[in-house]
Structure 1
Amino acid sequence: MDIRRHVATVAGRQVHYRRAGTGPVVVLLHQSPRSSLEMLPLLRRLAQSYTVIAPDTPGNGLSTPLSIAAPTMGDFADALAAFLTEIGVGKALVYGFHTGAMCAFELARRHPDRVACAVVNGYVHPSAEERDDLLANYFVPFVPDWSGAHLVWAWARMREQYIFYPWYRKSDAARIAIPEPSLDTVQADVLDLLCAGDHYRGPYRAAFTGDLDTAASEIEAPTLIMTMKPDWPLRPHLAHMAPPSPSVTVAEPDTMAEAMALLDAAFAAHRADADLSPAVAPTRPLGDEGWARVLALAGGDLFVRTWGEDTVRPPLLLLHDVGRSSADMGDVAPTWARDRKVIALDLPGCGDSADFGGAVTPVAQAAILREAIAILAPDGFDLVGFGTAGPVAIELALASPDGLSHVYAARPEAPRTPMQPPEAGGLHLFKAWLAERQKILFEPGGSDGRDEAALDPARLHRIVLDALKGQASAAGIIAAAVGHAFETSVEALGTVRFSRLPDSPAAKHALSALLCELEAA
């Protein structure tokens, strides 16, 4: 199954989504604080018969949050309708789970012309007393803390969600009768929570505060509302529902398998009313602001961020160190983009790029990047390789000398330790946090003695998040980079101009100085 990722630009923000299959369009809406990654099993199954589109809802995954302080579920539904317009979908079959279910519900109510059929799995309609309790306790602020305590909280928060409902009420009456989640399951949940940050609260607040007194009676689009019997905390909510309109069917399936059978039947009955596969819409830039897109390469998807516009100067391509991503360039790229386009790529196996079958050597990564550069900078470019990406930059320069005028690269010499596999209690996250904090405080160039931004817990949080995303590939990348014949390869560059960067956190400052010298000359 070929599942591809895309980014759509909608009303000044960006929406990341997954897409697979052909046929009538199905839209899958995940629960909070997850991302479209949660929908992969269902996406794979439905893509046998449909075009399946699974967006990250605003503020979750890689999608930009709404520019509203406290968005309602109506705001989320309106944003979904705008997204469908941007990608060329007029009417779709829509499925949502929990908070995603309430977005599907609101889309059917507010935009019936966009919905061939909506399936609402997990209707949320708390009593006034329950709502007040949830609003006070369920979605507490998420703020990175210099101590790293927020990572321990995040792990406990997502694990407890499998054990108690609500997650904060520790009692026998609140126990959920499901097996203990695996470390990998909790890690996937925590990763999505860390990506969303404090924005995770928006969909929860919207779901718990919906104006639902008459909503079900107002729905005109065909809609199936269901709550599974194992989803016992939400079953009483069905009794709070207003008498539904004739377009609404209500069900209480015994199992998820029965729920999926009802989903299949509902979609089959209305598939002829949904639009067929639209062409993939290209990502529209956001002007001078940093914006993201995904390149569909032969071996997988490559995530790219861009700042600035094309000028007479060649684009500057940035390759990040291991355990980082293109997001690590966000503090300096806007400055460098004042007189040229700046493009930062998530290397294979890092950040939000695919692993491309385990391509970790500089030669293998350079081969993948050549395909990307043919799209991004076909008329020439300058190249920067930080840390372990230094050998990748050199190999890319050797393979593409005609299009490259200047390469800036570091020889990886400083010791690097990849994040460890998941540990109980999220201890591996805490260890990674302490290790990065140690580098900032005590390694040469860590905070450079002047860079107060280096001490910002939000920046440190992003670094640990990048390390978590690239965990599986880090050890292989480090070993291959350290073993690379860097000096011999530099000598073979020929006419390509080479400038050496330090292998330290001061590398960005060094590059800024070099770029200023060249501009002055």
Structure 2
Amino acid sequence: MTHPITRHFIDIASESGTRRVHYRKCGNGGPTILMVHQSPRSSGEYEPLMQQWAQHFTCIAPDTPGFGQSDRLHRENPDINDYADAIVEFVDAMGLAGTVAYGFHSGGIILVTALRRHPDRFRALAIGGYAIWTPEEVSLFGRNYLPHFLPSGYGEHLTWLWNRMLEQTWFFPWFDTRNQTRMSVAHADPQRVHGAVMDMLAAGNAYRDGYGAVINAPRDIPSGDAPVPACLITAYNGDPLQAHIGRLGEIPANWEARKVVTPADHQAASAEFLLAQGGVSVERLPETDKAGFLPIRTAHFDGLIHWTGARGSARLVVHGPARSSAQADHAGAVAIDLPGHGLSDGWIGAAPTDWAAWQGVIDAAAAALGADDIVYEALPAGDPDLLYPDLTPDRHGSYLTRAWSIVRAERFFAPWYEASAANAIPFEEGAITPEALARAHLDRLRGVAAHSCHVARRAAGVA
């Protein structure tokens, strides 16, 4: 049985201001389990595990500050205590005090620090690989591990990003390309690399805050006689942190650390341990009324539609192909991301070229949001076959720079593929800053159903 994953936002108020947190939820029957992802990923990396564990738990996985769709922390140079406290703020806002929790690598370090600072918020932890860096490693990482990640005008940053994410499974640390740093888990799977690339593009340079806090975190394991909840730490063969099991030193009497063989062994041991601890259950979790995800089911679509804006407004804004609600002007209105665009789910099978299927989803979203005036962005001029070339992730990451070239050219020409004086269009200089191009580039990559959307709308004559 496949358990559906829902997505939500919650606004958390603190002394430093209100910040929005995005979280995923899966399962409805068992005790809650808080799942904290590694850096620089998002809660999306846990989707397969959430569906697996949902038979036992109600899985709740937030994006940590600055990653995925969660806001950054409102402070300069946050440290590991700040990220630990942010997780506890989330626990409190969600009503999860007393929950069990799971974290892998960076997520584990955040959770252990949170448990030490706030032991009453957790019943037990299961950790996948806990890093104990030597002073030499901290110094080496500090110089090389976290370069600034800023968009460049012509997309040069994308070549670095692809190879950085690809080769982190070839060498550890990723920048130390020597025979003795080769890893046993190397791969060249474009889809796996693409997932990490998309998370980095969403985080941008903010990745340095969360990742840096973890790398610079001191050994934070409670003393042997500390009255803290139980914890299991495991690491599998091929995990570079398996060797750190021998570096842990003294741990509390109710803690255990051991090596296992495979990732499946680690996950099974973690679930078995946490199930034995009990936990808390919740019936309804809070979320903001300013953005969210609508569960929509039609003949061709069964998934989540992202919405944002003034819920209750009569006007619903629908963006154009290869764009998203983030780019659409929806001031004083509500906006959605179409299927296969932005943060919304994709279609069941191939995206339809019958506009009735698209209109069915739009109408269902409008009804759920209470809107009855639907406004559509204009379609771009041009041939859909040329406007939306294939951007499937490839072995060498060339799709990233191809998409960047498109979003840059479409600021200067209409259609973008006709780069001639006759097709030149006026543009605003603010629209071609690297930051503005980066936002459009991310939407272009997410707009996997753009071609079908354009074809369907044009055939139906939807203005």
| Global fold match (TM > 0.5) | yes
Q: CA deviation at 1:39?
A: 0.7
Compared with structure 1, are the counterparts of its residues 87 and 411 closer, same or farther at alpha carbon in structure 2 (3 Å cutoff)? Answer: farther
Instruction: Specify the structure having the higher radius of gyration (Cα).
Output: 1
Q: 2:451 matched to 1:475?
A: yes
Match of 2:69 in 1: 62
In the alignment, the residues of structure 2 paired with residue 164 and residue 132 of structure 1 have an alpha-carbon distance, to the nearest angstrom, of 18
In the alignment, the residues of structure 2 paired with residue 453 and residue 421 of structure 1 have an alpha-carbon distance, to the nearest angstrom, of 29
Q: 2:330 matched to 1:324?
A: no
In the alignment, the residues of structure 2 paired with residue 19 and residue 57 of structure 1 have an alpha-carbon distance, to the nearest angstrom, of 15
Match of 1:193 in 2: 200
Q: 2:369 matched to 1:376?
A: yes
Q: More helix by proportion, 1 or 2?
A: 1
Matches within 5 A, 1:22-171: 22-171=29-178
Tell me which of 210, 214, 221 is aligned to 2:229: 221
Which amino acid letter does the alignment assign opposite residue 354 of structure 1? Answer: D
Compared with structure 1, are the counterparts of its residues 194 and 216 closer, same or farther at alpha carbon in structure 2 (3 Å cutoff)? Answer: farther
In the alignment, the residues of structure 2 paired with residue 419 and residue 59 of structure 1 have an alpha-carbon distance, to the nearest angstrom, of 30
Match of 2:346 in 1: 355
Moved more, 146-155 or 86-95: 86-95
Check conservation: 2:68, 2:203, Cα contact below 8 A: yes
Tell me which of 436, 440, 444 is aligned to 2:407: 436
Match of 2:308 in 1: 305
In the alignment, the residues of structure 2 paired with residue 161 and residue 35 of structure 1 have an alpha-carbon distance, to the nearest angstrom, of 17
Q: 3-state DSSP class of the match of 1:167?
A: coil
In the alignment, the residues of structure 2 paired with residue 317 and residue 434 of structure 1 have an alpha-carbon distance, to the nearest angstrom, of 31
Instruction: Describe the superposition over 1:289-330 as per-residue Cα deviations: whole angstroms up to 9, x where unpaired.
Output: xxx3222333321111215x87xxx5432211111111113x
Q: CA deviation at 1:28?
A: 1.3
Matches within 5 A, 1:237-316: 237-271=244-278, 274-285=279-290, 292-298=291-297, 299-306=302-309, 315-316=314-315
Q: CA deviation at 1:47?
A: 0.1
In the alignment, the residues of structure 1 paired with residue 411 and residue 343 of structure 2 have an alpha-carbon distance, to the nearest angstrom, of 24
Check conservation: 1:109, 1:221, Cα contact below 8 A: no
In the alignment, the residues of structure 1 paired with residue 76 and residue 249 of structure 2 have an alpha-carbon distance, to the nearest angstrom, of 29
Q: 3-state DSSP class of the match of 1:328?
A: coil
In the alignment, the residues of structure 2 paired with residue 448 and residue 79 of structure 1 have an alpha-carbon distance, to the nearest angstrom, of 46
In the alignment, the residues of structure 2 paired with residue 76 and residue 130 of structure 1 have an alpha-carbon distance, to the nearest angstrom, of 22
Check conservation: 2:306, 2:344, Cα contact below 8 A: yes
Tell me which of 25, 41, 45 is aligned to 1:19: 25
Moved more, 292-301 or 454-463: 292-301
In the alignment, the residues of structure 1 paired with residue 340 and residue 292 of structure 2 have an alpha-carbon distance, to the nearest angstrom, of 17
Compared with structure 1, are the counterparts of its residues 54 and 213 closer, same or farther at alpha carbon in structure 2 (3 Å cutoff)? Answer: closer
Unaligned residue ranges in structure 1 (runs of 5+) = 286-291, 389-409, 487-499, 501-521
Instruction: Describe the superposition over 1:152-211 as per-residue Cα deviations: whole angstroms up to 9, x where unpaired.
Output: 111011001110100011111111112423111111111111111111122221111113
Match of 2:440 in 1: 463
Instruction: Describe the superposition over 1:118-171 as per-residue Cα deviations: whole angstroms up to 9, x where unpaired.
Output: 011110120111001111111111100001011111101100111010001111
Check conservation: 1:33, 1:200, Cα contact below 8 A: yes
Instruction: Describe the superposition over 1:344-383 as per-residue Cα deviations: whole angstroms up to 9, x where unpaired.
Output: 21011111111242554432122122222223235x44x3
Instruction: Describe the superposition over 1:408-434 as per-residue Cα deviations: whole angstroms up to 9, x where unpaired.
Output: xx8887862244212232111101111
TM-score by length of 1: 0.79
Match of 2:420 in 1: none
For this pair of structures, how many residues does the alignment match? 442
Match of 1:8 in 2: 10
Check conservation: 2:413, 2:425, Cα contact below 8 A: no
Compared with structure 1, are the counterparts of its residues 29 and 444 closer, same or farther at alpha carbon in structure 2 (3 Å cutoff)? Answer: same
Match of 1:494 in 2: none
Check conservation: 1:104, 1:119, Cα contact below 8 A: no
Tell me which of 386, 398, 401 is aligned to 1:427: 398
Match of 2:216 in 1: 209
Check conservation: 1:3, 1:19, Cα contact below 8 A: yes
Check conservation: 1:92, 1:116, Cα contact below 8 A: yes
Compared with structure 1, are the counterparts of its residues 183 and 219 closer, same or farther at alpha carbon in structure 2 (3 Å cutoff)? Answer: farther
Q: 3-state DSSP class of the match of 1:118?
A: strand
Q: 3-state DSSP class of the match of 1:483?
A: helix
Instruction: Describe the superposition over 1:499-519 as per-residue Cα deviations: whole angstroms up to 9, x where unpaired.
Output: x7xxxxxxxxxxxxxxxxxxx
Check conservation: 1:315, 1:377, Cα contact below 8 A: yes
Compared with structure 1, are the counterparts of its residues 315 and 413 closer, same or farther at alpha carbon in structure 2 (3 Å cutoff)? Answer: farther
Instruction: Describe the superposition over 1:248-297 as per-residue Cα deviations: whole angstroms up to 9, x where unpaired.
Output: 211122222321232122112102xx111331323244xxxxxx322233
Q: 3-state DSSP class of the match of 2:451?
A: helix
- CA RMSD between the two structures: 2.4
Q: 3-state DSSP class of the match of 1:424?
A: coil
Matches within 5 A, 1:497-512: none
Check conservation: 2:325, 2:335, Cα contact below 8 A: yes
Check conservation: 1:89, 1:278, Cα contact below 8 A: no
In the alignment, the residues of structure 1 paired with residue 90 and residue 220 of structure 2 have an alpha-carbon distance, to the nearest angstrom, of 28
TM-score by length of 2: 0.89
Q: CA deviation at 1:447?
A: 9.5
Compared with structure 1, are the counterparts of its residues 176 and 413 closer, same or farther at alpha carbon in structure 2 (3 Å cutoff)? Answer: closer
Moved more, 89-98 or 367-376: 367-376
Which amino acid letter does the alignment assign opposite residue 286 of structure 2? Answer: A
Q: CA deviation at 1:219?
A: 6.5
Q: 3-state DSSP class of the match of 2:260?
A: coil
In the alignment, the residues of structure 1 paired with residue 216 and residue 222 of structure 2 have an alpha-carbon distance, to the nearest angstrom, of 13
Q: CA deviation at 1:216?
A: 5.2
Which amino acid letter does the alignment assign opposite residue 235 of structure 2? Answer: T
Q: 2:337 matched to 1:346?
A: yes
Compared with structure 1, are the counterparts of its residues 464 and 163 closer, same or farther at alpha carbon in structure 2 (3 Å cutoff)? Answer: same
In the alignment, the residues of structure 2 paired with residue 258 and residue 134 of structure 1 have an alpha-carbon distance, to the nearest angstrom, of 29
